[in-house]
Amino acid sequence: MKILLCCAGGFSTNMLMQNMRKVVQKSEVLKDEEFDFTAIPADALEQEIDGWDIVLVGPQIAHKVDYIQSVLEPKGIPYAVIDKDVYGQMDGATVLKLALVTHRKHVLKS
């Protein structure tokens, strides 16, 4: 699964991405080679969007969700906004679960 984290371009989203990667690496069920993570600033979304399975939106740019939706919907890519408290805790497990559940719902709906 290719997970794109969209943020304001800050250091904290990279930390969250690393925490998500650690969750996958420590898992007995998930396989590291089946996941790809990248964090980009929201302004680069249109140039970077092709090939991703899901986009996770940092709470600091939730105000840009209309723009993000306009880029993702035509390509059929699901997205979810990360809860600010979960983001603040750098809870990689909860954010990874959000990605998996959101992607699964999207696939089942298609």
- Amino acid 10: pLDDT: 64
pLDDT in tens, 8-35: 876 788 899 999 999 999 999 999 999 9
Active-site positions read 7
- Amino acid 6: pLDDT: 93
- Amino acid 8: pLDDT: 87
pLDDT in tens, 63-94: 999 999 999 999 999 999 999 999 999 999 99
**Residue 23 phi/psi, 5° resolution?**
-60, -45
Query: What is the helix, strand, coil percentage profile of the chain, to 5?
Result: 60, 15, 25
pLDDT band at 109 (very low <50, low <70, confident <90, very high): confident
Q: What domains are there in the chain, each with its CATH number? A: 2-106 (3.40.50.2300)
Whole-angstrom distance, CA of residue 71 vs CA of residue 84: 23
